[in-house]
Copies of this chain bind each other. A is one copy, B any other.
């Protein structure tokens, strides 16, 4: 019988964020696919799950290169999907790992997009990076009737409009366009309503509530910002 594909969210950086469902699935896999797109992603994901894999499991580190040409990216995803289908056809069950949640900005989605619609698929939710950060800092994402928006920052985003149309915003990938983000926060009166977290959950984690003095060159690749238009001050507390 053809194998089954599991998309598994492994949380952010620590095995204790794995769910029981993820652990029970990891234990029975024949093959684990560890995607490598962002820096350190593969090794982090593998280090989270390695103690739960059965003996003799096959581990495949699979590259999803950030190719400039969109057609090349699409081709590379198709090639990776074909490799996965080939393994499934040999009767093996595959777990495809995702840092965070598999349905939130993951490479796993590119496999889902391309894979034969008759393949059996099961996706196992994980703690997303923004859920992790907000809990870690005791800062609510969204309350009552408020709205929450998740924005992946890039030069095409109309930042002021985003700020205007949501109560709370998580800005991901802020290193791509930090100066423009900072300016928009200043101009909309929100410069003190944010927290910036660098390397969330890692030993070298840094938290900034005062970001006005920060410049583009200070912004690490792994940085996320939460904006609370209702105010950030009241949520600042020491973390224990």
* Residues of B with C-beta under 8 A to A142: 103-105, 150, 152
Q: Are B20 and A120 in contact (CB under 8 A)?
A: no
Segment among A126-134, A187-195, A202-210 that sits at the interface with chain B: A126-134
Q: Are A141 and B104 in contact (CB under 8 A)?
A: yes
* Residues of B with C-beta under 8 A to A103: 131, 134-135, 139-142
Interface string of A14-28 (1 = CB under 8 A from B): 111111110110000
Q: Are A113 and B234 in contact (CB under 8 A)?
A: yes
Say how far A184's CB is from chain B's closest CB, in angstroms: 15
* Residues of B with C-beta under 8 A to A7: 135, 138
Q: Are A131 and B237 CB-contacts (below 8 A) given A112-B138, A123-B136, A165-B165? A: no
Q: Which of A15, A21, A135 has the most CB of B within 10 A?
A: A135
Q: Are A135 and B102 in contact (CB under 8 A)?
A: yes
Q: How many angstroms from the CA of A140 to the CA of B134 in the assembled complex?
A: 22
Q: Binding site of A, secondary structure by majority: helix, strand, loop or mixed?
A: mixed
Bin the interface of chain A by size.
35 or more
Say how far A181's CB is from chain B's closest CB, in angstroms: 14
Q: Are A19 and B21 CB-contacts (below 8 A) given A105-B143, A138-B112, A151-B147? A: no
Tell me how many chains of this kind the complex includes. 2
Q: Are A19 and B134 in contact (CB under 8 A)?
A: no
Closest to A124 in B: B135
Q: Are A104 and B121 CB-contacts (below 8 A) given A148-B150, A149-B148? A: no
* Residues of B with C-beta under 8 A to A154: 145
Say how far A62's CB is from chain B's closest CB, in angstroms: 18
Q: How many angstroms from the CA of A112 to the CA of B113 in the assembled complex?
A: 41
Q: How many angstroms from the CA of A4 to the CA of B239 in the assembled complex?
A: 12
Q: Are A150 and B151 in contact (CB under 8 A)?
A: no
* Residues of B with C-beta under 8 A to A166: 149
* A55: Cβ under 8 A from any B Cβ: no
Q: How many angstroms from the CA of A227 to the CA of B18 in the assembled complex?
A: 28
Q: 9 closest A-B pairs (Cβ-Cβ)?
A: A125-B135, A123-B135, A16-B21, A120-B240, A103-B134, A148-B150, A16-B20, A125-B131, A109-B140
- A: residues with CB less than 8 A from B are 4, 7, 9, 11, 14-21, 23-24, 101-105, 109, 112-113, 117, 120-128, 131-132, 134-136, 138-152, 154, 156, 161-162, 165-166, 234-235, 237, 240
